[in-house]
Amino acid sequence: MLIKTLKIDQVLENKEIVEIFLCSNQGGIRKSKKTNTMILLAKFENCSYKHRKDGDILYFTGMGKKGNQEMKRQNKSLLNAKEEGFTLHLFELYEDKKYIYKGEVELISNPIIEEQLDDNNEKRDVFMFPLKRK
């Protein structure tokens, strides 16, 4: 299957995402230099990352489960994706192992910083990346 043949709301398995995008099989932000894509997985149930929607904007929580998040690794890659020539593809999960393709998205402004609880139930600052479908 090719990236361009994916349909909105199509449900995929993790192994299919790996095969299509040539990316890692782990993590919520998966960068593939082979396809110039970044896969964003927004899990909404039983997840320490608190993504949220506001109309047609998804506030995607950055990477880092404990303590304040930092603008490095995947967070920095997501921030600079457009300048580096990477397209962003969003999947949403509402139940385990059902990855719902939501299409190509773009970062519409710089991330905002929000306070959330980490895996230790301690307050910390996280990056919330505002994404909108292209």
Residue pointed to by tokens 């300048």: 83
What value does the mean pLDDT take over residues 119-124? 90
pLDDT for the residue 92: 97
What value does the mean pLDDT take over residues 72-100? 96
Per DSSP, the residues of the chain read --GGG--TT-EE-HHHHHHHHT--SSSSEEEETTTTEEEEEEE-SS-SS--EEETTEEEEE-S-SSSS--SSHHHHHHHTTTTTTPEEEEEEESSTT-EEEEEEEEE-SPPEEEEEE-TTS-EEEEEEEEEEE-
Top CATH class of 3-133 equals: mainly beta
Question: Domain residues of the chain, as ranges?
Answer: 3-133
Mean pLDDT score of the chain: 96
Angle, CA 88 vertex, CA 84 and CA 90 arms, to 5°: 165
**What pLDDT band is residue 45 in, cutting at 50, 70 and 90?**
confident
**Per-residue pLDDT tens for 99-113?**
999 999 999 999 999
Do 73 and 41 meet the contact criterion of CB atoms below 8 Å apart? Answer: no
Identify which of 90, 72, 94, 83 has the alpha carbon closest to the alpha carbon of residue 133.
90
Taking 90 as the threshold, does the pLDDT of residue 46 lie above it?
Answer: no
pTM of the model: 0.95
